Structure 1
Amino acid sequence: MSNPTVTAAQANKTPVLVAICLAAIILPLSFVSGSIATPVISRELGGSAQALSWITNAFMLSFGCFLMAAGALADEIGRKKVFIIGVSLFALFSGLIGFSSSLIWIDLMRAAQGVAAAAALAGGSASLAQEFEGRAQMRAFSMLGTSFGVGLAFGPFLAGLLIAHFGWRAVFLSSMVIALLSLSVAVTRLNESKNPNAAGIDWPGTVLFTAMLALLTWGLMEIPSKGTTSVEVLGLLGATVVLLILFVAVERKVRHPMLDLSLFRYARFIGVQALPLSTAFAFVVLLVLLPMQFIGITGMNEEQAGLMMMALSLPMLIIPMFAALLTHWISAGLVCTLGLVISAIGLGWLSQAIASQDMFAALAPMALIGIGIGLPWGLMDGLSISVVPKERAGMATGIFSTTRVAGEGIALAIVGAMLAGFVGQGIQQLSLAKDSHTASLAVQRLATGDLHQALLELPSTNALQLTAIYASAFQHLLLWLAAITLISAAIVFAALCLKTVPTEVSETLCEPDQ
């Protein structure tokens, strides 16, 4: 029989779980909704291709840069306090974006929104770990992961629906409403907690890490317009390398580093970091690129594009739970490897559908990619803790979350540069531009799915030619993403399925969970 006291205590904590899960829904919702809203924002406010790309990249960059710092701050001043501040600011910035009429202002507010999201996620996750214990804690974090899946699955459709009936501003105002709902519960029901042994924030490491990620992303985003050999791009990437060297040197010397470099001596820890990076290249970038294809190139409206995107994201509601069941018979490492291989096959299949310019033929491979990614997605949060000694679990979780979010931002910048490069090759081969400046502007527009503006830059061409160039470029990109995913699968298999680590680390990755 169940203990009535325990049951009542768990029921009393249900509002806490609801508040944190509501906050977890709006983070991916804000990310995917921004990509759906970008084309219509472009039509209303104008702006360069680079400025429009920052609508998504600014959010992801600041989110990833400040996640570890937010976690340290939550331990220092209070987890509830950081969560409340994060959600409150997220609601505020969402509202400001919803009433904005300036693209530059939207970009700045999206960056600020990312900082607020980092505080909300760090404070919420840490609070959840304090509120629940044992199996209840596992169920709570499972619900947290499911909430992320809900945001990803329904974000594109919800954004398309809101834009079609109320305009793009409703996308951000709806995020504000959900954030306020979360806040109304958390203020009264969430308990405050701190780490009594908190050592403070590693400010030198935080500043160097943030600057390094910012310069890297900025440099990658400049490639489509400036080229890989430009002084500006080389300078930014060179400065990134210098900051990386300084960061490693500082982290080795400070007493309480934000990043414990010794964790990287565990092969499985490295393998786990490969999981969010591989999902970024195989799945997350498609949440941005495919809406551009559907809306800007194919000519669908936002609602139709949102419906199409559900083929990719709906499996994320079901497959993560199925992945947990699979671990009763198959090791977690093997399940993750299998998922990445399935995703790579889906990416290759999708490349053929894109090449044929048959968007409805893309639905089946999109679903296959979602199914494949759903397998590691449901396991990698738990794996991030299990692959290191227990006393380092907190640091490992922080590193994993940062790798996931920052990796997604960097992957978007890399993939954007690759797509622009392939588009540029197509335009150059057909000699469609009269000079390099015109070609650069046309490449930037077409690579971001703005077929209309690309045609204005190249009046001697037609829509069919540019559509064919884009389809060929996207096909090549998808094949590269498939190759990256297969390489990631090999790394994950080698690191997580081969017994090559110290015995103090959990061996459950190599064996089914009996």
Structure 2
Amino acid sequence: MAGADPRRWWALGALALALLALGFDLTILNVALATMSRELDAGTSELQWIVDSYVLVFAALLLPAGLLGDRFGRKRMLLVGLAVFGAASVGGALAGTPGWVVAARVAMGVGAAVLMPLSMSILPTIFPPEERTRAIAVWTGSMALGLPLGPLLGGWLLEHFWWGSIFVINVPVVVVAMGAIALLVPESRDPARPSLDVPGALLSITGLAALVYGVIEGPVAGWSDPGVVGALAAGVVLLANLVVWESRARQPMMNLALFRDRRFVWSAAVTTAANLMMAGILFVLPQYLQVVLGNDAFGTGLRLIPMLLGLLVGAVLTDRLAARTGHKPIIVSGMAVLGAGFGLGALTDPGGGYSYTALWLTVLGVGLGLTMVPAMDLVISLLPGGEVGRDSGLVQTLRQTGSALGIALLGSLLSQLYRDRVETAGLPEAAADAVRDSVGGAAAVAQRLGDDALLASAREAFVHGMNGLLAACAGLTAVMAVLALAFLPGRRAGRDAAASGDGRQSTHAHAAD
């Protein structure tokens, strides 16, 4: 504690503010799509790319972005990332065509790809080991807080201002975060100042872009579509070549030695799986709360808060217990609680109200907090201090790829179960296609036709699909809990890992000249 930076908690607040903007930016756009479609004359494909272009660029650039922080300075690159994100937000607000919005979202993805790994990489350089779990809980919670804030803010802004206000809201947050980071966050970098691995960067960017593109397009075009199969195959081949290249490179961009450590492999697997399932849940919940339970965008955001409160409870419990029990018991217990939440959710009654939903959302949140915070703490404790930017990029790449997979795979499962159950007999072909496409489309058709039976069928079919999705998540959680129990090293190994990681950090991490 003697050598700890006295400004560290204020610095964490600055980082949390930046992540808060990223969090609500992931969900705020969804409530504005209908308005943007009308005012920009954007079709379904254009709306899809307004959403997906951000995710695609974000995931593809995480690996090289982390390395840039190690070379040029993490604080400096954080400020660059925030500036890009803020400028792109202004561009999005001023857009007059769908293509312009897509370009702005691409630039926002570039800024976010810099912000995410470098904000994480700064934590072990300013916090001593005994405070790191709490710092990670704040770091995790700040982005989670932004998720329900997105619909709340978006709904309020659209009621009072034009659709571009959902981009403008980022600007004051970015300006304040930049000022706070400039004043409070110390500069740090890798003493070796690693050079950019250009072949590795190209392989990672193209490979991840192809893989994520295939994952995004799969539920839309079909998993057997030649374009989807080709993109997925190209992604796998390029990423396999990346691994081969990195194993031979003199200054690799990716630290493959981490994958020889069981502690890193299984803690990273846990947090990636948790991200996958959380992304799937956040995809399905707004539709359930809006179309099935009949809430508006603002009300939907409010009703996501129990999951956030549960996550904060789980994070606080982790902070209190980690020093006494180690990481493994908390992670395994957290996955058990998470599985229980998914199991409760899978029993949702189509005619039930929100009170039961609030219950299982709270349990889910507690499980997420007990799972993700200690797993991330263990991952960070294993990263070499000087190279923590590069390795944070690797961790965040795994997590964000998990998120993309969660939305695609769990979304596909939901869609299949919904289509198999919804009734479309007697409807015109165009109307039947709209009903089968989504529960939102079904609600629109039912309203236009005044068909209450169709709306009831669509809602029942959607809840059936959601229950299947939640049951699949419960099964995956159970498998991961068993694997973590069997293969994740216990308390002594966790302590050794933390000591080893902190030793590396104290050896390599330093304030920049």
TM, length-normalised to structure 1:
0.85
Residue 471 of structure 1 pairs with residue 467 of structure 2: no
Partner of 1:489: 481
Task: Decide which moves more: 480-489 or 322-331.
Answer: 322-331
Task: Decide which moves more: 363-372 or 23-32.
Answer: 23-32
Which runs of no fewer than 5 residues in structure 1 stay unpaired? 509-514
Pairing partner for 1:195 from 179, 190, 197? 190
Structure-2 change in CA distance of 1:57 and 1:485 (3 Å): farther
Alpha-carbon distance in structure 1 between the residues aligned to 2:450 and 2:245:
54
Alpha-carbon distance in structure 2 between the residues aligned to 1:345 and 1:410:
22
In the TM superposition, residue 234 of structure 1 has moved relative to its aligned partner by: 1.8
Task: Decide which moves more: 287-296 or 340-349.
Answer: 287-296
Correspondence 1:121-132 to 2 at 5 A? 121-131=116-126
Counterpart secondary structure, 1:325: helix
Task: Decide which moves more: 198-207 or 453-462.
Answer: 453-462
Residue 10 of structure 1 pairs with residue 11 of structure 2: no
Native 8 Å contact 1:202 1:258 kept in 2: yes
Structure-2 change in CA distance of 1:495 and 1:180 (3 Å): same
Alpha-carbon distance in structure 1 between the residues aligned to 2:392 and 2:305:
29
Task: Decide which moves more: 120-129 or 463-472.
Answer: 120-129
In the TM superposition, residue 164 of structure 1 has moved relative to its aligned partner by: 4.1
In the TM superposition, residue 236 of structure 1 has moved relative to its aligned partner by: 1.8
Native 8 Å contact 2:218 2:408 kept in 1: no
In the TM superposition, residue 17 of structure 1 has moved relative to its aligned partner by: 3.7
Partner of 1:325: 320
Native 8 Å contact 1:336 1:376 kept in 2: yes
Structure-2 change in CA distance of 1:248 and 1:500 (3 Å): farther
Alpha-carbon distance in structure 2 between the residues aligned to 1:329 and 1:127:
25
Pairing partner for 2:442 from 448, 451, 457? 451
Pairing partner for 2:80 from 85, 109, 124? 85
Partner of 1:382: 377
In the TM superposition, residue 209 of structure 1 has moved relative to its aligned partner by: 1.8
Residue 282 of structure 1 pairs with residue 273 of structure 2: no
Alpha-carbon distance in structure 2 between the residues aligned to 1:287 and 1:115:
23
In the TM superposition, residue 487 of structure 1 has moved relative to its aligned partner by: 1.6
Structure-2 change in CA distance of 1:466 and 1:44 (3 Å): farther
Correspondence 1:46-61 to 2 at 5 A? 47-61=42-56
Alpha-carbon distance in structure 2 between the residues aligned to 1:46 and 1:455:
24
In the TM superposition, residue 72 of structure 1 has moved relative to its aligned partner by: 0.7
Superposed CA deviations along residues 314-354 of structure 1, whole A, max 9, x for unmatched, are: 22233202112122443311211111221122112212225
Native 8 Å contact 2:200 2:242 kept in 1: yes
Structure-2 change in CA distance of 1:104 and 1:441 (3 Å): farther
Alpha-carbon distance in structure 1 between the residues aligned to 2:346 and 2:40:
32
Q: Identity of counterpart residues, as a percentage?
A: 24
Partner of 1:23: 18
Alpha-carbon distance in structure 1 between the residues aligned to 2:460 and 2:370:
34
TM, length-normalised to structure 2:
0.85
Alpha-carbon distance in structure 1 between the residues aligned to 2:216 and 2:73:
36
Native 8 Å contact 2:118 2:392 kept in 1: no
The one-letter code matched in structure 2 to 1:400 is: V
Superposed CA deviations along residues 254-305 of structure 1, whole A, max 9, x for unmatched, are: 1122222232222222211222222223323222321122224443211111
In the TM superposition, residue 374 of structure 1 has moved relative to its aligned partner by: 1.0
Native 8 Å contact 1:86 1:117 kept in 2: yes
Partner of 1:269: 264
Partner of 1:350: 345
Correspondence 1:71-470 to 2 at 5 A? 71-131=66-126, 140-152=135-147, 154-166=149-161, 168-353=163-348, 355-356=350-351, 358-387=353-382, 396-427=391-422, 442-446=435-439, 449-452=440-443, 462-470=454-462
Give the superposed CA RMSD. 3.6
Superposed CA deviations along residues 413-445 of structure 1, whole A, max 9, x for unmatched, are: 222222222233335x8657776x886665444
In the TM superposition, residue 486 of structure 1 has moved relative to its aligned partner by: 1.7
